[in-house]
Amino acid sequence: MSLEVKVPAVGESITEVTIAQWLKKDGDRVEMDEVIAELESDKATFELPAEAAGILRIVAQEGDTVDVGATICKIEENGAAGAAPSAPAAASQSAAPSSAPAAQGGGEAVEMKVPTVGESITEVTVASWLKNDGDHVEMDEVIAELESDKATFELPAEAAGTLEIVAKQGDTIEIGATICKIVPGAGAPQANAQAAAKQEEANQKASSQPTATTASGAQTYASGTPSPAAGKILAEKGINPADVQGTGRDGRITKEDAQNAQKSAAKPAAASPKQEATASAEAPAASGDRNQRREKMSSLRKTVARRLVQVKNETAMLTTFNEVDMKPIMDIRAKYKEKFKEKHDVGLGFMSFFTKACTVALQEWPAVNAQIDGNEMVFNDFCDVSIAVSSPKGLVVPVIRNAESLTLDGIEKEVIRLAKKARDGKLSIEEMTGGTFTITNGGVFGSMMSTPIINAPQSAILGMHNIVQRPVAVNGQVEIRPMMYVALSYDHRIIDGRESVSFLVRVKELLEDPMRLLLGV
């Protein structure tokens, strides 16, 4: 009997998902509720649990985009599972004889669960197992390395006995979930014998290669083992860890070791004089480093890329420009910034002025604050302003809720709070969804002018740029003023040219005469 697993509904407005990663291979045996894949929408990543136990048959491949409700895989139950046991199942069956005596001789198995490793960390990835399934482990011996999105942690054994691995290397598991079991008792001698045999075999294979040792000259489990970061670099470059000399503790291969090995491995081998003469006759030699490297796109980067292309293809996007004399705002900041910070414990920046000016203009031109939903236009009487923030993982757009009701200091505090959470990778899904208008500041990177892309399903985005001293005509006189170009990209399907230009002119007026913001005129 075959059970069809369909893409579940993961959000009110989400109609399709992308298969970010299969955690199990086609033909593997899976257990009920075991996580078998990661699904990615334009807002978040979700885990797909198995709906039954059996043999996995993959229908949609990794990277495919499938509709909600479509079949993503099948699970063959009953006879299929017995006829074709997967490699992990076979391994567990072969390990049963050794684990059975252990259970008989030494009491119940100790279930080891993933410990709490940080306030905001809800799941970790098994970066590497330092012991094999069936090995004997000692109390407090480090048996695995766990990796979160922020750091790598070591997992010590909570008892002495025979190790039974539950979560495989590369699996992502939640805090508190069972990662392995340790069976104490009679199985230890047999496990020791198996471990000794494996170690002897490994020693024979490595006898012709230099090995890392501790200060006392003894090998440990860490000798020649790369850290997760180093392992990733070596894997991307196709370098065998056995060819790298580790300089870390107990001979571990560090990230720096992997980077140095990458550089040395990338250099071409020395050619003979005859070969060099032939090559020089054929073509001039290239000078300098000509290395290349490939990096897999992160889930966030793939989502951003897909959404940006989708916006370009599905909207009638147009951009209008204007320029703003920043001298009045700069004069206010220079005069009151110390008192402002002393009273509100936050600096007075440009973003609060721009956000406040935009909320006033949005209420006067509601089409700029609206969006298209099918054949309807949705108008909002509130201003949830999204701010584009560059984080270590990529561009994120957290939302300032009800910005129209906030004061300048309230906006500044919210901007700082959201930007800090973005840099720390702690933004929640709720904090990044539901905006009605977006502001992006390319000026902090030196951009003079740009055409920002709309943040769908919104209909407009304002782009700020750098401030440049330029000569301008003021009351018939040429003066040097700090000027900024501003750009408004908008969806012409819902916003007309008159509305877009009038909106930008209103923002310009409010910024060049900040008293209007205080008086509401």
Give, in order, the Cα–Cα distances in Å from 151 to each of 20, 241, 281: 22, 22, 52
496 is an active site residue: yes
Both tokens assigned to 393:
């993982």
Distance of CA 374 to the CA centre of its chain: 31
CA dist 16 and 254 (Å) reads 40
**Roughly what angle, to the nearest 10 degrees, separates helices 350-364 and 408-424?**
110
CB atoms within 10 A of CB 172: 18
Beta strands 54-58 and 45-49, pairing class: unpaired
Candidates 40, 503, 483; CA nearest to 300 is 40
| Residue 485 identity | Y
CB atoms within 10 A of CB 457: 15
What are the two backbone dihedrals, phi and then psi, of residue 162, each rounded to the nearest 5 degrees? Answer: -95, 130
Beta strands 385-387 and 437-441, pairing class: parallel
CA dist 146 and 169 (Å) reads 10
CB atoms within 10 A of CB 68: 16
CB atoms within 10 A of CB 362: 25
CA dist 104 and 188 (Å) reads 12
Contact 171, 89 (CB under 8 A): no
Both tokens assigned to 413:
């505090």
Candidates 244, 276, 238; CA nearest to 258 is 244
243 is an active site residue: no
Which residue in the list 289, 424, 496, 513 is annotated as catalytic?
A: 496
Residue with tokens 């909320």: 359
Helix, strand and coil percent figures for the chain, each rounded to 5: 35, 25, 40
Which residue in the list 64, 243, 373, 492 is annotated as catalytic?
A: 492
Report, as residue numbers or ranges, the catalytic residues: 492, 496
